[in-house]
Amino acid sequence: MADSLQYASGNSSSTTLSSGVTNSDTSVPLTSDTNFEAKSGEGMTIIDEGQATEEFAYATGKTGSALDIPLANRGLEGGSAQAHAAGSTVKGIITAGMWNNLIDAVSLVVSKTAGTLLKATGATINTGTDDATIVTPKAIADSNVLLTTKTQTVTNKTITPVALINTVVSYTPDAAATATLNLATGNIHKITMPAGNITIAISNEAVGQCFLVEITQDDVGSRTVTWFTTIKWAGGSAPTLTTTASKRDVFGFRVTAADQYDGYIVGQSI
């Protein structure tokens, strides 16, 4: 791969040679150095554009108003170093080769790295306890692409796919039993009440997780629930279930900390 792009010549960098150069000169004097920045890596220039002596060259800097172009940087893009007369045009340009270098650099990130773009180590969904390691592409030793090897550890982050968010889990507990809502299996939980009262418990919750609980009375109604502990209800008190037979109530929750929840009434007597 060719030299990496560093500082390109500025926009509208166009001038002429203030004096002639041979095919072995390494200093190219400019009539005006406007927009030719005095930095390492001046970018590609074209001399005598459209002429038989047209030449592509890569400057590495500037001394006074003259471009510094090592002999190895002359006659690029399949050409050869040429002699140029005073008054020959000099322009800063982007060449096909430079575009190809840019494409190669982007491609390295996707397909030419020696490492892994994204690696999850032992990560499981919705536990909030495992670590994920994100690894950027490793540098390629034989290229000038500015890639570095860097590892960042993201601790205790929950990975929740859309499929899990939209999953509906149904429960039909026995009378006087406990319905344990497994939050690792979905975020919408539907309970059909038995011929008696029940207790609701929670398992595998993750801090920050939001979920819905829908409770449907049986064909008799007037069933009650004992909620899981440490809920801070909006308004300060737990809601009263709709007692009408076959009616539904929906409640929303957010896990604020371990075994800590905010609770909201979404809708009742549906």
pLDDT one-digit tens code per residue, 169-197: 999 999 999 999 999 888 999 999 999 99
The mean of the pLDDT values for the chain is: 78
Percent of the chain with pLDDT over 70: 67
Least-confidence region, from 49-53, 113-117, 239-243:
113-117
What tens digit of pLDDT does each residue of 136-155 get?
444 434 444 444 444 555 55
φ and ψ at residue 27, rounded to 5 degrees = -125, 125
The encoded tokens of residue 204 equal: 């595998």
In the chain, % of residues over pLDDT 90: 50
User: Region 229-248: what's the mean pLDDT?
Assistant: 93
Continuous H helices in 87-231: 96-111, 162-165
pLDDT of res. 4: 45
Q: How large is the greatest C-alpha to C-alpha distance in the chain, in angstroms?
A: 103
Band the pLDDT of 39: cuts 50, 70, 90: low
Average pLDDT of 129-137?
A: 41
Rounded distance, CA 74 to CA 25, Å?
A: 9
Q: Distance (Å, rounded) from C-alpha 209 to C-alpha 189?
A: 14
Domain layout of the chain by residue ranges:
14-98, 113-154, 162-267
Distance CA 34, CA 37 (A): 8
Please state, in angstroms and rounded to a whole number, the distance separating the CA atoms of residues 181 and 183: 6
Q: How high is the pLDDT of residue 95?
A: 65
Strand order in the sheet with 198-203: 178-182, 198-203, 225-226
Higher-confidence position of 131 and 91: 91
Model-level pTM greater than 0.85?
no
Alpha-carbon distance 55 to 32, whole Å?
A: 19
CA distances in angstroms from 191 to 90, 173, 213, 240, 248, listed in the order given: 79, 8, 7, 16, 10
Name the nearest CA neighbour of 244 among 226, 219, 265. 219
Give the pLDDT confidence score for residue 162 in this predicted structure.
56
Token pair listed for 179: 């319905």
pLDDT digits (tens, 9 = 90+) for 65-117: 898 899 998 998 889 999 999 999 998 877 666 666 667 666 665 554 444 44
Please give the pLDDT value at position 122: 39
218, 221, 222, 224 alpha-carbon torsion, rounded to 10°: 10
CA dist list (Å): 105 to 100, 101, 167, 258: 9, 6, 41, 45
Burial 175-184 (b: 16+ CB within 10 A, else e): eeeebebebe
pLDDT on residue 3: 43
Nearest to 221 by CA among 190, 189, 194: 194
Under the banding of pLDDT at 50, 70 and 90, the label for residue 58 is confident
In angstroms, the CA 255 to CA 64 distance is: 66
Burial of residue 56 (number of CB atoms within 10 Å: 0-12, 13-18, 19+): buried
The amino acid that residue 107 corresponds to is S
pLDDT tens digits along 2-15: 444 454 566 668 89
